């Protein structure tokens, strides 16, 4: 294991996370992978923060950094083994984007990493490339004209799709928003005045930029130590998720099925808005464990959890049992690339077809379990036609007893929120 000044090195951890992510076709979230590695190793907070900065920065600027690398590499970048490529990409990220790390430390760390992996051949290659980049003053170098794919580091098929669907100007706005560092927000579940008194202004600020007052977090370390967090009075959530949750017309004693509930944000917030009874279902036992932890911290008693496939809801619960179904469906997640930069490298043009089939199946299951007069709140954290309007159009054409009352599409960055879609439908 790579050591730096007696501690684990942030660069080593970043490299480990990035290589594992690529090995898994970017199916996992970078922050979850980092958390998992940090559970096994003692990593001081500064090193952990630096590791996250490097990981997210490299994912956000992957194509651009590979372009710089291609300027100094004798081999085409696509031919370089991916573990070696990430060592170089991490080094270029530090050279170009981080100003507190001395150049010689970046080169030494990269070379040491190669040696620790017993790759002497790699260390010569890395040393040669980084030293020639430094001799060439790579940091001050003006780039020749580069494409949007390179400068915004998104796959070209995705950029072309957004250009076609939303026009050139909107597509560029989305790309720019995706590459900004995300702000973190939280909903206040209860004890509003005490929570504000404890957190504002040092740990959070109260933002009224959205349709209700939401906390904008400034200091995570002290948020997690605060009494209101430990008491479960606040829950980290995006403003878009908070606004979706508020769309269901709640009544006391309503019976609600949250069909894809984990890790529980929307169920928890809903349970605090009205005296309702929520069944929170998810097909992932790992994520249901996380949901249970969240319910416990937030001291929520009117939500019970079930591991199960939403498509089997009628078999599990019986027909016409619920007043409403919240269906926060699995999706391509293209609306939350700003928070999860790896998503752009995971999604393929083919992803939409299989995901749309699942979304339609979950909706068909939802309609079976709601009572006449009941609601379905369908939501996704993406904005492609295939997973939003198309799914709802097909569903409504096949279920004439359902009417759409309200729907909304938010493109990433609009109203300073992530991208997403919801449709509220009622059974006649
Ligand atoms: C967008 S997330 C839900 C987020 C959650 N509503 C919240 O607010 O915290 C989608 C969830 O759907 C779950 N899921 C995927 N396929 C499912 C299925 N067939 N049945 C039930 N849950 C499913 C995933 O495990 C994932 O937890």
Q: Average pLDDT in the 54-62 region?
A: 97
Atom number in ligand 1 closest to CA 380: 1
pLDDT number for residue 56: 97
Model confidence band, residue 1 (pLDDT cutoffs 50, 70, 90): very low
Ligand 1 site residues (CB inside 6 A) read: 259-266, 281-284, 287, 309-311, 328, 330
Architecture (CATH level 2) of domain 3-146:
Orthogonal Bundle (1.10)
- Concatenated DSSP letters for 183-197? P-EEEE-S-HHHHHH
The 8-class DSSP code of residue 181 comes to P
Atom number in ligand 1 closest to CA 333: 1
| Residue 336 to residue 188: CA distance in whole angstroms | 22
Q: Which residue has the tokens 């007069």?
A: 373
CATH of domain 238-427: 3.40.50.150
Asked if 148 and 159 count as a contact pair (C-beta separation under 8 A), the reply is yes
Model confidence band, residue 293 (pLDDT cutoffs 50, 70, 90): very high
Show me where the domains of the chain are located.
3-146, 238-427
Which residue from 142, 138, 159, 162 is spatially nearest to 150, judged by alpha carbons?
A: 159
Q: Which residue has the higher pLDDT, 326 or 144?
A: 326
Tell me, in angstroms, the distance from the centre of ligand 1 to residue 332's CA: 12
pLDDT number for residue 8: 65
- How buried is residue 338: exposed, middle or buried, by Cβ count under 10 Å (0-12/13-18/19+)? buried
Asked if 396 and 428 count as a contact pair (C-beta separation under 8 A), the reply is no
Q: Which residue has the tokens 């049992």?
A: 321
pLDDT per residue over 71-115, tens digit each? 999 999 999 999 999 999 999 999 999 988 999 999 999 999 999
| Residue 207 to residue 214: CA distance in whole angstroms | 5
Strand arrangement of the beta sheet that strand 234-236 belongs to: 204-207, 214-217, 185-188, 234-236
pLDDT per residue over 135-146, tens digit each? 999 988 877 778
Q: Which residue of 189, 238, 261 sits with most ligand 1 atoms within 8 Å of its CB, as the best mutation to test the pocket?
A: 261
Q: Which residue of 247, 263, 283, 365 sits with most ligand 1 atoms within 8 Å of its CB, as the best mutation to test the pocket?
A: 283
Which residue from 240, 184, 182 is spatially nearest to 212, judged by alpha carbons?
A: 240
Helix, strand, or coil (residue 403): strand
């Amino acid at each position: 294991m790579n050591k730096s000044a007696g501690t684990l090195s942030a660069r080593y951890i970043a490299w480990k996370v990035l290589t594992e992510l690529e090995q898994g076709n970017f199916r996992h979230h970078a922050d979850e992978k980092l958390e998992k590695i940090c559970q096994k190793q003692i990593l001081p907070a500064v090193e952990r923060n630096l590791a996250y900065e490097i990981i997210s920065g490299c994912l956000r600027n992957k194509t651009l950094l590979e372009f710089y690398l291609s300027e100094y590499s004798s081999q085409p970048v696509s031919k370089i083994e991916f573990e070696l490529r990430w060592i170089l990409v991490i080094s270029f990220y530090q050279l170009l984007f981080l100003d507190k790390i001395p150049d010689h430390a970046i080169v030494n760390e990269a070379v040491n990493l190669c040696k620790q992996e017993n790759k002497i051949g790699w260390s010569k290659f890395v040393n040669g490339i980084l030293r020639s980049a430094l001799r060439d003053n790579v940091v001050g170098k003006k780039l020749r004209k580069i494409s949007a794919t390179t400068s915004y580091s998104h796959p070209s098929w995705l950029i072309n799709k957004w250009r076609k669907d939303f026009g050139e100007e909107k597509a560029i706005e989305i790309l720019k928003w995706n590459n900004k560092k995300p702000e973190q927000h939280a909903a206040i579940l209860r004890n509003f005045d005490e929570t504000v008194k404890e957190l504002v202004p040092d740990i959070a600020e109260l933002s009224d930029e959205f349709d209700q007052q939401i906390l904008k977090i400034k200091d995570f370390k002290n948020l997690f130590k605060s009494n209101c967090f430990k008491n479960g009075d606040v829950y980290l959530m995006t403003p878009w998720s908070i606004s979706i949750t508020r769309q269901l017309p709640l009544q006391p004693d309503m019976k609600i099925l949250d069909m894809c509930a984990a890790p529980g944000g929307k169920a928890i917030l809903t349970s605090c808005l009205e005296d309702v009874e929520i069944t929170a279902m998810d097909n992932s036992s790992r994520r249901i464990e996380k949901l249970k932890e969240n319910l416990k911290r937030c001291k929520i008693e009117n939500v019970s959890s079930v591991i199960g496939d939403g498509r089997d809801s009628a078999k599990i619960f019986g027909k016409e049992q619920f007043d409403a179904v919240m269906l926060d469906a699995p999706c391509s997640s293209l609306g939350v690339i700003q928070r999860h930069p790896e998503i752009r490298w995971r999604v393929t043009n083919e992803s939409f077809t299989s995901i749309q089939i699942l979304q339609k199946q979950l909706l068909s299951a939802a309609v079976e379990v709601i009572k006449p007069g009941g609601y379905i709140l369908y939501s996704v954290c993406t904005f492609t036609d295939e997973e939003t309007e198309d799914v709802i159009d097909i569903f409504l054409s096949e279920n004439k007893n359902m009417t759409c009352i309200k729907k909304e599409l938010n493109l990433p960055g609009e109203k300073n929120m992530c991208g997403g879609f919801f449709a509220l439908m009622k059974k006649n």
